[in-house]
Chain A
């Protein structure tokens, strides 16, 4: 053990002498800090945007009060009044933005059909989406392995190629101690960097101190250890530094780029998701057909859903709001199975990726970070369900006005339901990811140790 610490301390000297590596570490530190800045700025931008929404609703109400100074038909109010279902980010979202850049953080809702409103989001720049998020999770998952490769590709081969290993192993020190000390030093440098960035990110994002702090740090440690395990396996093969570098970069390319791409294609083929546009068109056709359908037919279908309004007066007028909202409602009902199937298919696709991500620790780590931050697909689907329930509550609020022919007064604006939804972490997914990563790490170190046992380190 004494020799382990001697070699460990001298690794520090070797590392300081390798100016390129020190520079690389500094560069990654700066990149990590930029990732934290990017993530916190993006979430702050979303928060500021979301903070303006109540003001927009308030102004809309003020305008309606001017437009309808006295008691008004609730149908008019329901048509012109906009409110918002809001998906507030968890502070953790700043560290792992996940799908928050592609999925809307709020949904603008009126009393009309829900489905077309649910998917009506602001346009985003596809080039920006293509480039992805540059948050801390991205730096940890995609760039840290490159640092680990740069630090470890010549773990032992450089000493062998320079002829120093002969003299080193002529001392009473075993190859395992030499490899262990070198690996341990590199692990301490990388983990020091990764954990420091994580802590800075947590402080910067002002995350709550809960179990997720531990989970994030353990996830970071395990993910880095996995890549050191890969480096150990490649070292155990005892090839030249050049071959090691190419092999490690190849593994990075496979695990970080190739497997995720193939998995994406495979999962898309295995779990096809119906096109959202088909759902929207069908709902729109159903609603537009409502104008031409006999009113009694529309209302009977609606009363089958809401028998409590069956005793309301029959419609003789050319246009009344309750008939209008009834066929809007029926439009949603007509596509309800498709909407459910769409969400179900998305969830199935996500679940399949969760099962297969054992093949790529990079995907596993990314989805685990997203799950901790509440920025993954299940969270978005939860928000959509929450928005749908909010829309239901709007209907439940307005329908008595419409069907009992109660006038809508200015005081009723304050009684209108409001919505809020804050991301919740998917802890089950994150903990599952931790277990899978632990298995990957164990497999790598077992393989590395096995190879070293089969082929003892040669000093030449």
Chain B
């Protein structure tokens, strides 16, 4: 089977901490893999290694078959990333920010298309031409989602993507993930939100002290079982 995301014995040692202890992970196209775990468990380090933001101490991360450390720019053509807090250029409008990041990703959209991406991500149409400096955290998050969607990436890396969203927007985001997943986009999402993971994930992995200690298909668990499993590893 061809994996779009793959980690082979991925290890990351920071100066004073072993953040990742030999992670092995494969994610197929269309799969939504949710990484659960406490703060410092290694979720964000895993995302950073796939993004090439940090280099592995040992092992390798692959995106679409390309080793991240060897092809740091090429792999980003296949990746879209939404951080926990989407920060944008505050003096540019939502539209201009989207135009900038899309053009960096190699896409040139008309203003109409840009507005469509933003409104589909949930940004009110009257806000698209307002400076981002006036946006709430949730609105910025929606622009981040639009940036990710407009990139047409094969892989979506998400770090607590719904943390700034209200329940309605979170639900819309889940819908969006399901839609992207059905179109073949692989998703790796680091989250604390067990119920969101159960709702949109095809598999969940539980991380603890830099190790992926358990991986389960979400279809095999109900929400209570997942919560119980999570709590088991957290104590």
Residues of A within 8 A of B (CB): 3, 6-7, 10, 13-14, 17, 162-164, 166-174, 456, 458-460
Assembly CA distance A13 to B74 (angstroms): 28
Contacts of A13 in B (CB 8 A): 91-92, 96
Assembly CA distance A217 to B147 (angstroms): 44
Contacts of A171 in B (CB 8 A): 76, 101, 104-105, 151
Chain A's closest residue to B133 (CB) is A17
How near does chain B come to A241, taking the closest CB pair, in angstroms? 15
Assembly CA distance A431 to B106 (angstroms): 46
Chain B's closest residue to A177 (CB) is B73
Report which of A17, A163, A174 forms a contact with B91, defined as CB distance below 8 A: A17
The total of chain B residues at the interface (CB under 8 A) is 32
User: Does B55 belong to the interface (CB within 8 Å)?
Assistant: yes
User: Does B61 belong to the interface (CB within 8 Å)?
Assistant: no
User: Does B13 belong to the interface (CB within 8 Å)?
Assistant: no
Chain A's closest residue to B44 (CB) is A460
Assess the B73–A173 pair: CB atoms within 8 A: yes
Assembly CA distance A6 to B104 (angstroms): 7
Chain B's closest residue to A174 (CB) is B73
Residues of B within 8 A of A (CB): 51, 53-55, 72-74, 76-77, 79-81, 83, 85-92, 96, 100-101, 103-106, 144, 147, 151, 157
Most buried by A among B55, B89, B151, B157: B89
Assess the B104–A163 pair: CB atoms within 8 A: no
Given A163-B83, A172-B104, A460:B72 Cβ within 8 A = no
Given A3-B104, A6-B100, A170:B76 Cβ within 8 A = yes
Q: List the count of A-B residue pairs having beta carbons below 8 Å apart.
A: 66
Assess the A163–B72 pair: CB atoms within 8 A: no
Given contacts A13-B91, A172-B74, 4 further A-B contacts (CB under 8 A): A17-B91, A167-B81, A167-B87, A458-B54
Contacts of B74 in A (CB 8 A): 172
Report which of A17, A164, A458 forms a contact with B88, defined as CB distance below 8 A: A164
How near does chain B come to A144, taking the closest CB pair, in angstroms? 26
Contacts of A167 in B (CB 8 A): 81, 83, 86-88, 101, 144, 147
Assess the A170–B72 pair: CB atoms within 8 A: no
Contacts of A6 in B (CB 8 A): 100, 103-104
Assess the B79–A170 pair: CB atoms within 8 A: yes
Assembly CA distance A173 to B104 (angstroms): 7
